[in-house]
Amino acid sequence: MKTGIAFWNILKKDIQNYYLKPPNISWGIIFPLSWTLMQLIRSSGGINISDIRGMLPGLMAMSVLFGTTSMLAVTITFERKGRSFDRLLLAPISLSTLVIAKLSGAILFGIFNAFVPVILAAFFVDLVGINWSAVLLSVFLIAVTSTLLGLMIAVSAKEVFEAQTFSNFFRFPMLFLCGLFLPISSLPIFLRPLSYLLPLTYGTDMLSGSIIGTSMLSPMLCVIIMLVFTVVFFIYCQYNIHRKWFC
């Protein structure tokens, strides 16, 4: 019960202090909107509304990736710099509880970000036939793995600008390697193995399967692989936190 109170209040504090701040809400809306428009007018020389549904998996995955990695890496680095994070480390709650509470805020923010393009798309195209439970599961798993990536960055960075630099170092290559906008089959052959080492590839594939009905891998396999990524990332983060934050 005591752990539950601490968990809920850390999550509530993060949502109030960081995620519900106007700049972050506007980021969550403007960023996916800009990318949607950019994709629509990219090469065809004009807006092609019917493309929107095809772009949704990539836009959703990208929105989650950018929302979660930025927010968690920056907020933790910011709190560590101001030493308010020490207060959390000194609380009589397990490190896992603390980490999960911090992750939960970013995961919720990521899920919110993912559905901004969906809401916008709903005004222009028919979204009938989408497997929403599979979409939700995919978005959740992408949010979890991306948030853990953000945590890995936060553990390594000492300054907020370092966290932002590290985030971009991971994120931008992922945009091109994970099949968000370019099919993996069209990538140079030597880059393809790299794509399969990234969790976002599997999340995007699951989203494609549930929104446009085309996927490379079985959804069950994608779920299992993403769960494995989640466990490995979580253990690695815990190990690194012990090594770097309690030295």
Report the interface residues with other proteins, using CB under 8 A: 1-3, 5-6, 8-10, 13, 17, 82-84, 86-94, 246-247
Taking the complex as a whole, how short is the minimal distance between the CB of residue 4 and other proteins, in angstroms?
A: 8
7 vs 124, beta carbon nearer other proteins: 7
5 vs 235, beta carbon nearer other proteins: 5
Structure tokens at 161: 């600008």
Taking the complex as a whole, how short is the minimal distance between the CB of residue 238 and other proteins, in angstroms?
A: 14
Q: To 5 degrees, how large is the angle CA 150–CA 4–CA 143? A: 25
Taking the complex as a whole, how short is the minimal distance between the CB of residue 103 and other proteins, in angstroms?
A: 17
CB atoms within 10 A of CB 218: 12
Taking the complex as a whole, how short is the minimal distance between the CB of residue 3 and other proteins, in angstroms?
A: 7
2 vs 50, beta carbon nearer other proteins: 2
Label residues 173-192 b or e (16+ Cβ within 10 Å = b): ebbebbbbbeebeeeeeeee
Q: Which residue has 């290559």 as its token pair?
A: 173
2 vs 186, beta carbon nearer other proteins: 2
- Sign, Cα dihedral of 234, 158, 244, 100: negative
Q: Give the Cα separation of 119 and 56 in Å (integer).
A: 11
Which of left, alpha, beta for 129 (phi over 0: left; psi -120 to 50: alpha)? left
Taking the complex as a whole, how short is the minimal distance between the CB of residue 77 and other proteins, in angstroms?
A: 15
Q: Give the Cα separation of 191 and 216 in Å (integer).
A: 17
91 vs 194, beta carbon nearer other proteins: 91
- Say if residues 42 and 127 touch (Cβ distance below 8 Å): no
Taking the complex as a whole, how short is the minimal distance between the CB of residue 84 and other proteins, in angstroms?
A: 5
8 vs 176, beta carbon nearer other proteins: 8
